[in-house]
């Protein structure tokens, strides 16, 4: 990522604009959006000041989902904090992020922030050695405050970084994905996965992407819109097969905004065989016509374990 790109992203963040020049917020009371943006920025500052484990601890909801690069999916607050504390290499990093978009459901019960992460080895005095990643945070609002329901970071650690002292979380009860507010989004995710198997990942991503959907490409780019997403996936993944399944799903109380978290496998189908094991966080919105489309999607590596 060039410095010019970084400057553009920073400008977009502080001007309240997305990288496409449009306001990157969902229609919701301005006070709720402002409160979520402030909460996201305060969490970033706490992480910069105190480290990932301490900085995120006060923001996690009790059933928070943590998607840390190279580690299994963790599905509760105590386990997430324990994983962050056990990864000794994280303590040597200075991490902070810039939110590029703020989405809030109309009823104010669910919110999403995502953007760019900067990572430096401590002490972070040499800014020429910064690395860049991305993040997605899903937030629940209760008792008038926002808490992290799911948090994904990419680029913090190498994909092949060893996993220490971590165990995969138990699979949820099937009913969580078939009834209740999150079921609509779990069903969309499963249909998305079926199309990827039947027709290939590039057309599936294009078909299920909202008009301004964003994906986090492995190249480090932010891909915006179905056309750009399909073109890049066709370029980079023409000979791969994709399979995935949601393990967790959640929703705003009014069923407008939702998210799914699950595990994925990508395998090369031509030439030298290889398999990538990943986990993902996908944010969904119910569109005006009643269809469900994803608005932001990102993932990272996990150990080759499965539920």
The pairing of strands 292-301 and 209-216 is parallel
Any domain includes 168:
no
Model confidence at 230, pLDDT cuts 50, 70, 90, reads very high
7 pLDDT more than 60: no
In a shared domain, residues 183 and 77: no
pTM above 0.75, yes or no: yes
The reported pLDDT for the residue numbered 27 is 45
In a shared domain, residues 53 and 85: yes
Average pLDDT, the chain: 83
Any domain includes 160:
no
Q: How far apart are CA 285 and CA 145, in angstroms?
A: 22
Give me the domain span that covers residue 15. Answer: 3-154
286 pLDDT more than 70: yes
In a shared domain, residues 76 and 131: yes
In a shared domain, residues 144 and 233: no
The reported pLDDT for the residue numbered 207 is 96
Q: How far apart are CA 94 and CA 48, in angstroms?
A: 6
Model confidence at 132, pLDDT cuts 50, 70, 90, reads confident
Q: How far apart are CA 107 and CA 179, in angstroms?
A: 20
Summarised one tens digit per residue, pLDDT across range 232-264 is: 888 877 788 899 999 999 999 999 999 999 999
In the chain, how many domains are there? 2
- Closest by Cα among 240, 282, 248, 243 to 265: 243
Any domain includes 294:
yes
In a shared domain, residues 185 and 145: no
Q: How far apart are CA 13 and CA 37, in angstroms?
A: 10
């Amino acid at each position: 990522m060039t410095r010019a790109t970084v400057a553009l992203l920073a400008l977009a963040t502080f001007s309240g604009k997305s990288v496409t020049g449009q306001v990157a917020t969902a229609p919701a009371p301005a006070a709720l959006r402002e409160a979520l943006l402030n909460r996201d920025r305060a969490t970033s500052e706490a992480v910069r000041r105190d480290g990932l484990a301490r900085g995120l601890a006060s923001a996690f909801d009790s059933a928070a989902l943590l998607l840390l690069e190279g580690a299994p999916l963790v599905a509760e607050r105590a386990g997430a904090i324990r994983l962050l504390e056990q990864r000794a290499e994280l303590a040597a990093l200075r991490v902070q992020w810039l939110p590029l978009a703020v989405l809030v459901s109309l009823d104010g019960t669910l919110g999403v922030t995502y953007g760019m992460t900067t990572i430096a080895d401590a002490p972070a005095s040499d800014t020429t050695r910064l690395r860049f990643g991305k993040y997605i945070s899903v937030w629940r609002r209760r008792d008038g405050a926002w808490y992290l329901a799911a948090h994904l970071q990419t680029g913090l650690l190498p994909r092949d970084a060893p996993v220490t002292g971590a165990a995969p979380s138990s699979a949820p009860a099937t009913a969580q994905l078939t009834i209740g507010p999150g079921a609509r989004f779990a069903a969309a995710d499963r249909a998305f996965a079926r199309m990827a198997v039947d027709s290939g990942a590039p057309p599936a991503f294009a078909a299920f992407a909202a008009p301004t959907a964003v994906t986090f490409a492995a190249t480090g780019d932010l891909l915006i819109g179905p056309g750009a997403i399909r073109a890049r996936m066709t370029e980079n993944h023409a000979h791969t097969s994709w399979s995935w399944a949601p393990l967790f799903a959640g929703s705003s109380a009014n069923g407008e905004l939702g998210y799914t978290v699950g595990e994925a496998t990508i395998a090369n189908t031509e030439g030298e065989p290889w398999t990538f094991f990943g986990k993902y966080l996908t944010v969904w919105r119910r569109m005006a016509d009643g269809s469900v489309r994803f608005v932001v999607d990102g993932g990272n590596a996990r150990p080759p374990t499965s539920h």
